[in-house]
Structure 1
Amino acid sequence: MPSPAPAPAAPPPAAVPIPLSSVIPPLILGTATFNTQYVASPEHMPYTPIISRALSLGIRAFDTSPYYGPSESLLGAALTSLSPPRDSYFLITKAGRRGPSDFDYSPAGIRSSVERSLARLGTDRLDLVYCHDVEFVSPADVLAAVSELRRLRSEGKVRYVGISGYPLPTLTSLSLSVLEATGEPLDAVLSYSHFTLQNTSLSSPAVLSAFAAARVNVLLNASILGMGLLTSRGIDAAPMAAWHPAPPALRSRCTELKTIAEAEGMGLEEVAIRWSLAGWATAAAAFGSASGGRNARTGVSVTGVSSVAELEETWRVWSEVVSELEGGTPGAASKTDLVRRLAEERIWPALGEWKDYTWESPGPDYVPTGPSRPRL
């Protein structure tokens, strides 16, 4: 295999006057669910009512990606229809991944992706852009993509720059590589399915110390239901069955957790959401948001929904978690404590060897089809 071409020289670090942690909200609505990977017909789902209700509840940040099928276009159509002031919400997308095995991390590809996202989302700027699923390409490709996003930042089209992906060793090593190569740390790193009822790896002291060494400003936790793994209907009864990377034994074990939650009068979704939101709010405080009105920073979570009812439930749990953090209602605190005990005493023992299991990404059958080089 030929050696990768050297990355283009990074532009000089541009001053970011306000740290991302000062402006990013602590709860972000993810729109990966506006996609055929999660629903049969996303164009017919209530995407505008979801965004409208989110705004009325006070949710002011939205996460999407070109990889999520029509998600960018649907989110853009909803925002255009509702016409909230542009400065009233925080808009996040990604670049680099175009399909299951199609990546273009070239500077031209990154620039084209950003321009397309701006048009789809009906905006003149993107608040945060990640290099999407960095484990699928080479470190040189990631550095070139980050450098191009920073050039776009200097043009006013992008405000903050980050990376996203699944394997934690890859995310930590690339974060440090970007700092060492450019002299500027990443504004954000997005990890998914690594701080859930099933997998708590993201909160390990070693992992958090590695991100601290790389001076990452904000560390975000996404897919708090494990991309549908921690739901009452389970993966095998959902559209995700065809592509979800969890092995059959793990899928089955997670489905069995439903009866444990129901014995306490809760759905598995509520237990999983409450455990993750409450735990990450404090575990990632050093990498969290300072914009939530609290004296302390709050770990940032990204959660997706496919209906207004799901949004209402998530917001209710989040509101109770925030109330607890602020020393509020004892009822909310006791319910969160119940969920913590339930996880430690029943759910984690039931998971057994599947607790903290991390699947391989990319998988052994991955074959790249895009112009970017495979990861070395």
Structure 2
Amino acid sequence: MVHLKIGRIKLDDFDYSKEWVNKSIHRSLDRFKTSYLDVVFLHDVEFVNEDGIFKALTELFELKKQGLVKNVGISGYPVDFLYETARKVANGALGDGVTLDLVMNYSNGCLQNTILADYYDKFFKDTGIKLLNNASILSMSLLRSAETRSFHPCSQDLKDTVAKLAKVLKDEHDTELAELATRFALRLWKGKKGKTVLGLSTLEELDSALIQYKYVLDGSLDQFDAKLVKFSQEFLGDHLNETWKSGINH
């Protein structure tokens, strides 16, 4: 399956114009040597005004009518904004009977932040989507023993607290935070109408993710993890479900 994200070009460079949407789609069709794309996400929608979002989505749905795109979705960080945007589409923002096919959110369905799970029922009740995808289950490198990447936008206080948690888990419980966090997120989204989306940089990370997936399937670490999850989330204290600003004011 071919999945594509469009709209964000660089860190602070966005193009949601009709022209760029068409260029992105046709360029990807040519690069992948395919006649259609399975999924296209309008990416990081919180950085663009509502009018721009709906114009870009209108063009994507036109391309869907032409058979060039099979499913249209939106992706981004603030769960509430993704929900409201999808709900407005379902309520007629793009015309009667038009609903998004799927939504992808990141860093809100993980050990440190479970807000996405709180919105799960609302998404399917109010927006008409088929799938709700949970991405970046290690919260863009936050939930691991290694140093959090410099671009991460969360507070330094949160980074420091997670670093302390990772050390305690390793020293006192012989557990790698990234592995525990991976198993937690896989369980959180197990059986949901949506996919868990992992970002992987190395073969070692892929091997580890597959091992954690097998543990979740066979249930052998369920009881062990339950205690560590409770400990970890209590350790986070006020940082549990802490978020950071992303996008423009709407």
The answer to whether the 8 Å contact 1:260/1:347 transfers is: no
The answer to whether the 8 Å contact 1:137/1:375 transfers is: no
Distance 1:147 1:121 in 2: 24
How much identity, in percent, do the aligned residues show?
Answer: 34
2:208 pairs, out of 313, 319, 339, with 313
Q: CA deviation at 1:357?
A: 0.2
Q: Residue 113 of structure 1 aligns to which amino acid in structure 2?
A: S
The answer to whether the 8 Å contact 1:275/1:336 transfers is: no
Distance 2:101 2:29 in 1: 20
1:220 pairs, out of 133, 138, 148, with 133
Q: CA deviation at 1:115?
A: 1.6
Q: Residue 248 of structure 1 aligns to which amino acid in structure 2?
A: Q
Give CA-to-partner distance per residue, 1:269-304, whole Å, 9 cap, x none: 11010011111114xx2x23xxxxxxxxxxx10001
Distance 1:337 1:198 in 2: 19
Q: Secondary structure at the match of 2:221?
A: helix
2:37 counterpart of 1:135? no
2:149 counterpart of 1:254? no
2:143 counterpart of 1:234? no
2:110 counterpart of 1:202? no
The answer to whether the 8 Å contact 2:215/2:221 transfers is: no
Distance 1:192 1:173 in 2: 16
The answer to whether the 8 Å contact 1:261/1:271 transfers is: no
Residue 182 of structure 2: aligned partner: 273
The answer to whether the 8 Å contact 1:274/1:336 transfers is: no
Residue 226 of structure 2: aligned partner: 340
Distance 2:249 2:36 in 1: 30
Q: Secondary structure at the match of 1:128?
A: strand
1:191 pairs, out of 97, 100, 105, with 105
The answer to whether the 8 Å contact 2:42/2:73 transfers is: yes
Q: CA deviation at 1:375?
A: 5.8
Q: CA deviation at 1:305?
A: 1.0
Q: Which aligned pairs between 1:316-327 and structure 2 lie closer than 5 A?
A: 316-321=211-216, 323-324=217-218
Q: CA deviation at 1:134?
A: 0.5
The answer to whether the 8 Å contact 1:277/1:318 transfers is: yes
Give CA-to-partner distance per residue, 1:295-323, whole Å, 9 cap, x none: xxxxx1000111111101101211332x3
CA RMSD, Structure 1 to Structure 2 (Å): 1.6
The answer to whether the 8 Å contact 2:145/2:167 transfers is: no
Q: CA deviation at 1:259?
A: 2.5
Q: CA deviation at 1:116?
A: 2.1
2:12 pairs, out of 82, 97, 101, with 101
Residue 112 of structure 1: aligned partner: 23
TM-score (norm 2): 0.92
Q: Which aligned pairs between 1:86-97 and structure 2 lie closer than 5 A?
A: 90-97=1-8
Distance 1:307 1:336 in 2: 27
Give the unaligned 5+ runs of structure 2: none
Distance 1:202 1:224 in 2: 11
Distance 1:375 1:227 in 2: 23
Q: CA deviation at 1:209?
A: 3.3
Q: Residue 21 of structure 2 aligns to which amino acid in structure 1?
A: I
Give CA-to-partner distance per residue, 1:305-351, whole Å, 9 cap, x none: 11111101101211332x34xxxxxxxx241332122111x111111
1:160 pairs, out of 61, 71, 75, with 71
Q: CA deviation at 1:265?
A: 2.5
Distance 2:13 2:20 in 1: 12
Distance 1:303 1:172 in 2: 22
Q: How many matched pairs?
A: 245
Q: RCO (CA 8 Å, sep 6+): is it higher in 1 or 2?
A: 1
Q: CA deviation at 1:264?
A: 2.6
Give the unaligned 5+ runs of structure 1: 1-89, 289-299, 325-332, 363-373
The answer to whether the 8 Å contact 1:192/1:223 transfers is: yes
Give CA-to-partner distance per residue, 1:142-184, whole Å, 9 cap, x none: 1111121111112222110000011111101000111112322
Residue 80 of structure 1: aligned partner: none
Residue 152 of structure 2: aligned partner: 244
Q: Residue 210 of structure 2 aligns to which amino acid in structure 1?
A: W
